[in-house]
A and B are shown apart, each in its own frame.
Chain A
Amino acid sequence: MITHQNSQSQNPTRVVLLGARGFIGTAIRNLLDAQGISVIAPSSAELNLAEVGVADKFVMLLQPTDTVVMLAAITPDKGRDIATMMKNLTMMQSVCAMIEKSACAHLVYFSSDAVYNAAVSRVNEDTPASPQDLYGAMHYTREIMARSLTKTPVLVLRPTIVYGADDTHNSYGPNRFRRVAQKDGRIVLFGGGEETRDHIHIDDVAALTVRCLLHRSTGTLNVATGTSKSFLEVAELVAKQFNRDIEVITTPRQNPVTHRHYDVTNSIKAFPDFRFIAVADGIAHVHKKTMKAAQ
């Protein structure tokens, strides 16, 4: 559930985007630029959040009227071990330290749906966080660190599986399906692809985030569409985009089937006129954009 501190949309004075070079960060940056909102986006080379004492350096940059969007993290594809978790916590420690020193108008922390227990099939923002791995525990700890900034209005966003043409990750789902379909002419599923998941298009993630910035929203919000599809359905949607036959291959199941559905009532309450991109439309859009870029 989130609360809008600004009942009417109001551009933030300036947005400090940490992790702006990533898939989600780039999309948010582009949308903020398109709306004429001032952004600074220090790179990790300019501002290494994992470096001890970086907070002092960063305080020079931060204004009390700034909105900070914290996306910077070492993602699971680059490490899932304890050392990675500790680096991620150090990064958040730096962010919290600099906000404590300098203050800011609004902090938006990008968490993950990994804070929920994978066995819980239906979640909303009231579902107790119960992370099952270090990555989920890291995000949940960073959420608590953010909320410990009692003088700062904090919003935590927990995105589900995000897809889009510019995604550099290769995790199981629409992005990987499209790449392997293009390369190999086939998509191999885990088991029968029965698991249902909520896949959200990157443009929706950016649009919802910017709305939250404009309303200076606080609380916790899952970033999901409310519609779940099985991996088999998603694979078939991806396969349909190609002008040639793409084989969708099922394999013997190794792990139990789990499902994930989002109750997005709180999103609807927060933004009742918001229109999510249907996964079929989103996959088609990503395919066209990718093919056009390849030409």
Chain B
Amino acid sequence: MTAPVIGFCGMTHLGLVSGVSASAKGFSVICFDPDAARVAALVRREVPISEPQFDSLVTKNAERLKFTSAATDLSACDVIYVVPDVPTDDLGRSDLGPVNALLDTVFAVARNDAVVVLQSQVPPGFTRGWQRPGRILYYQVETLIFGRAVERALSPERYIVGCADPAQPLPPAYRTFLSAHDCPILPMRYESAELAKISINMCLVASVSVANTLAELCEKIGAVWSEIVPALKLDKRIGQHAYLAPGLGIAGGNLERDLATVCNYADRYGTDADVVRAWVANSRHRRDWALRTLHREILSRMDDPVIAVLGLAYKRDTHSTKNSPSMALLEHLQLFRVRVFDPVVPASAAPNPRCHGAKSELDACEEADVLVIMTPWPQFARLDPTAIAQRLRGKAVIDPYAVLNGAACRAAGLNYLTLGVQS
């Protein structure tokens, strides 16, 4: 068959990366969003996301990419992915309104033989509720990782496909598109696929919670978590790619959503989710590690300190600040003078009226009493500890993610504090 035309509805982070990556695989792609202003910006190549490789792929594959706000353009598509964000509130509860609205739009304009693939993060049972006579509907698990989204879209580990009936073969157009990525395809019931996505995230949270729990113990008893991690990764039951880096709790919104979903379903069906609630509590506890450390080292010791904060985004390579530990920290530093720098997020995003936006990392350090590195941007790792020490007025460097080399910092005379190490 001729190469199918692929549509992506909802120019979100996922939609943009998926659409551009599909074009890079040689498919003609129609990128639709009902927001005409957003589409106009995309046509002008004003890209609202930050991902490695993304900009160059847009340029290279421009001839196969069409951005449109006209829903009727989707009638040219053989496969239509529906990928809007599903917003969450502070408790991780989903607002399914946008995805419902977009599905309505798609079903109104898509050809009857077009395959509609829902890829947004929805609770189990949602997709089956959208089955319509004469329509071909699938659910496909997205495993987007901010900062590695393009790499994972071009070379996925596997496709998890939720089907009305997994015994039936996939439609040729859909199979052709998936097969272009040369990875296993795992068909299963809608509900299984929806829960598979949650299951993956629960495994990740479990690993991170183990790392956080034991890293905190390391900080008390003199063990060093980074010395333990290689021993765990060489255990085949755990594995090289296990999420064992301690962090400042779970952020970004998606994992929190799944934690909330599991708890809600457990409440509804009477299953045990106490361990999941413990992960949530542990995440909240670890999120405030930097605040507690800052209080112990600086705030409880000196008057009117100046605090340098590097990083506002919730993780590297993204502009997203959703549930960012840096934002959470800054909210509690309103009494203090803060000098902040992030390569992507402006200082004006910080919830702190006393934040001064610095021009660079070292500018932020100028005459500060302490440096706190709240996002592990790669460029921060290239900072010279001696240069930091020369600019800081104080000696303390709080670097939860160990972006800097601890030994080099200590050699530069800095009091280096990181997760998983006694201080």
Contact = CB atoms under 8 A, between A and B. Distances in A.
B25 interface: no
Interface string B328-343: 0000110110000000
Contacts of B295: 268, 272
B300 interface: yes
A272 B281 contact: no
Given A272-B332, A272-B335, A265 B300 contact: no
Contacts of A233: none
Contacts of B291: 265, 268-269, 272
B285 to A, nearest CB: 7
B288 A273 contact: no
By DSSP majority rule, is chain A's interface helix, strand, loop, or mixed?
loop
Interface in B270-288: 281, 285, 288
B359 interface: no
A263 interface: yes
A192 B106 CA distance: 72
A289 to B, nearest CB: 23
Contacts, number: 31
B293 to A, nearest CB: 10
B90 to A, nearest CB: 13
A190 interface: no
B286 to A, nearest CB: 11
B382 interface: no
Query: Which bracket fits the contact residues of A?
Result: 10 to 19
Nearest to B296: A226
A272 B328 CA distance: 13
Nearest to A268: B295
Interface string A254-277: 000000000101001100111110
Interface in A83-141: 126
Contacts of B237: none
Contact of A275 (B292, B301, B335): B301
Given A268-B332, A275-B301, 14 more contacts: A126-B281, A226-B292, A263-B285, A265-B285, A265-B288, A265-B292, A268-B291, A268-B292, A268-B295, A269-B291, A272-B291, A272-B295, A272-B332, A272-B335
Top 3 closest pairs, chain A to chain B, by CB: A275-B300, A265-B288, A268-B295
19 contacts: A126-B281, A226-B292, A263-B285, A265-B285, A265-B291, A268-B288, A268-B291, A268-B292, A269-B288, A269-B291, A269-B332, A272-B295, A272-B332, A272-B333, A272-B336, A273-B300, A273-B336, A275-B301, A276-B300
Interface of A: 126, 226, 263, 265, 268-269, 272-276
